[in-house]
């Protein structure tokens, strides 16, 4: 097995809402106000091989975006390490650190919010490579045109502002901005969720072309199973801050092991399904402020028993390629 390009070891990310002065006084006076902590990501291990596309799937609030942001270096991890090329990014310094952070770039969900409306496209794309000395000021213009061509944007539109583009084109600008610093690893956070169906297909195709052309590695975060099934080599399913199952795409879709994965696959609408009667899984994702004890899925799980409420199931390998975090996965 090749060494992973990116490895996440025991990463947790907690967000704490500190008490303000009034809160502290109330606490002194015996009120039950406490600091609230959200465990957005809870002891997650992942590794991604060079050239691999890892799909990270989960519902809203499961922590998938936070994990993506930790990988991209936007949030620091509360606990744990993010290793790029075998080195802990947090301990690097100087040129090494810059190289590592430039190599990991992120593409965001909302093509309207992630571009500065007051900057021209050429500046949005050209700023980072110029600042980091990847191209000289005089070559920037040519370089921007080259990158725009690569993502299927007409270079003659480089002097326009983001509002003059459609949603699909804006997403291409976001992709061009990420590619401009010559990354090796892209974190795509719901990068196609805001686009129309026909435009989604164009952007998915672009991601696949770029992967082939530039040898990119992706962490592809999405709630849409069909997109992930199409593009990813391996899929990790996340529920309330934890990875519950990870497997090669084909195996996961053919035979899901974790009860949550099973429910997700059964309930995602598909074209080949017609009117049918089924009983969808009950309940909703619990609040991450107050997660259930033991296995986070136990209140909604058809297999749940006493041990599920008592102990957290760890993600353990069940075959050379698959792992699952469930006490009763053999019964699914």
Partner 1 sequence: MSAVLEVSALRTHFFTHAGVIRAVDGADFKVRKGEVMGLVGESGSGKSITGFSILGLIDPPGRIVDGSIRFNGAEIANAPEPELQKLRGNRIAMIFQDPMMTLNPVLRIDTQMIEAILAHEDIPRQVAWERCREALGLVGIPSPEERLRAYPHQLSGGMRQRVAIATAFLNRPDLIIADEPTTALDVTIQAQIIHEAQKLTRQTGTAMIWITHDLAVVAGLADHISVMYAGRIVEQGTTDDVIDRPLHPYTVGLLGSVPSANKRGQRLYQIEGMTPNMLAMPKGCAFAPRCRAATPDCSTAPQITKVDGRRLRCHHPQALGAAT
Residues of this chain that interact with partner 1 (CB under 8 A) are: 59-60, 166, 168, 196-202, 204-205, 208-209, 223, 225-227, 229-231, 249-250, 263-264, 267-276, 278-282, 284-285
Q: How far apart are CA 71 and CA 298, in angstroms?
A: 28
DSSP string for residues in 187-241: EEESTTTTS-HHHHHHHHHHHHHHHHHHT-EEEEEES-HHHHHHH-SEEEEEETT
- What's the maximum distance between 2 C-alpha atoms anywhere in the chain? 68
Q: Contact, 307 vs 282, CB < 8 A? A: no
Closest distance of CB 174 from partner 1, Å: 17
**Between residues 71 and 264, which has the closer beta carbon with respect to partner 1?**
264
Q: How far apart are CA 94 and CA 53, in angstroms?
A: 29
**Between residues 83 and 153, which has the closer beta carbon with respect to partner 1?**
153
**Between residues 140 and 200, which has the closer beta carbon with respect to partner 1?**
200
**Between residues 172 and 327, which has the closer beta carbon with respect to partner 1?**
172
H or E element that contains 244:
strand 242-248
Closest distance of CB 270 from partner 1, Å: 5
**Between residues 53 and 186, which has the closer beta carbon with respect to partner 1?**
53
Closest distance of CB 260 from partner 1, Å: 9
Closest distance of CB 146 from partner 1, Å: 22
Closest distance of CB 288 from partner 1, Å: 13
H or E element that contains 39:
strand 36-48
DSSP string for residues in 44-71: EEEEE-TT-EEEEE--TTSSHHHHHHHH
**Between residues 32 and 274, which has the closer beta carbon with respect to partner 1?**
274
Paired with 46 in beta bridges are: 8
Classified as helix, coil or strand, 186 is: strand
| Rg, the chain, Cα only | 22
Closest distance of CB 212 from partner 1, Å: 10
**Between residues 135 and 204, which has the closer beta carbon with respect to partner 1?**
204
Closest distance of CB 233 from partner 1, Å: 9
Helices 140-150 and 121-131 pack at an angle, to 10 degrees, of 120
Closest distance of CB 229 from partner 1, Å: 6
Closest distance of CB 237 from partner 1, Å: 11
Q: How far apart are CA 8 and CA 17, in angstroms?
A: 25
Q: How far apart are CA 116 and CA 124, in angstroms?
A: 8
Q: Give me the sheet containing 79-84, strands edge to edge.
A: 36-48, 6-17, 79-84, 87-88
Give Cα 78 to chain centroid, integer Å.
17
**Between residues 58 and 73, which has the closer beta carbon with respect to partner 1?**
58
**Between residues 2 and 273, which has the closer beta carbon with respect to partner 1?**
273
């Amino acid at each position: 097995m090749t060494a992973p390009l990116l490895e996440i070891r025991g990463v947790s990310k907690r967000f704490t809402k500190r008490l303000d002065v009034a809160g502290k006084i109330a606490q002194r006076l015996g009120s039950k106000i406490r600091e609230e902590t959200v465990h957005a990501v809870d002891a997650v291990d992942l590794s991604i091989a060079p050239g691999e596309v890892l799909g990270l799937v989960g519902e809203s609030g499961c922590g998938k975006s936070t994990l993506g942001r930790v990988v991209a270096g936007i949030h620091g991890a509360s606990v744990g390490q993010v290793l790029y090329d075998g080195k802990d990014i947090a301990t690097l310094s100087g040129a090494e650190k810059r190289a590592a952070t430039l190599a990991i770039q992120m593409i965001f969900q909302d093509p309207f919010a992630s571009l500065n409306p007051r900057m021209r496209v050429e500046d949005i794309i050209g700023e980072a490579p110029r600042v980091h000395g990847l191209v000289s000021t005089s070559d920037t213009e040519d370089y921007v045109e080259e990158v725009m061509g690569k993502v299927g944007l007409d270079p003659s539109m480089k002097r326009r502002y983001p509002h003059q583009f459609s949603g699909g084109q804006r997403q291409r600008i976001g992709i061009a901005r990420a590619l401009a610093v010559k990354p090796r690893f892209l974190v795509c956070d719901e990068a196609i969720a805001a686009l129309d169906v026909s435009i989604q297909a164009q952007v998915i195709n672009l991601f696949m072309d770029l992967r082939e052309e530039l040898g990119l590695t992706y962490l592809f975060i999405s709630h849409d199973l069909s997109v992930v099934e199409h593009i990813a080599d391996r899929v990790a399913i996340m529920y309330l801050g934890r990875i519950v199952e990870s497997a090669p795409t084909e195996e996961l879709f053919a035979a899901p092991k974790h009860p949550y994965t099973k429910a997700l696959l059964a309930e995602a609408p598909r074209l080949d399904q017609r009117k049918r009667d089924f009983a969808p899984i009950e309940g909703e994702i619990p609040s991450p402020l107050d997660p259930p004890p033991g296995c986070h899925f136990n209140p909604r799980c058809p297999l749940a028993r006493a041990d599920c409420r008592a102990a957290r199931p760890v993600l353990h390998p069940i075959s050379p390629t698959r792992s699952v975090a469930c006490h009763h996965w053999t019964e699914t």
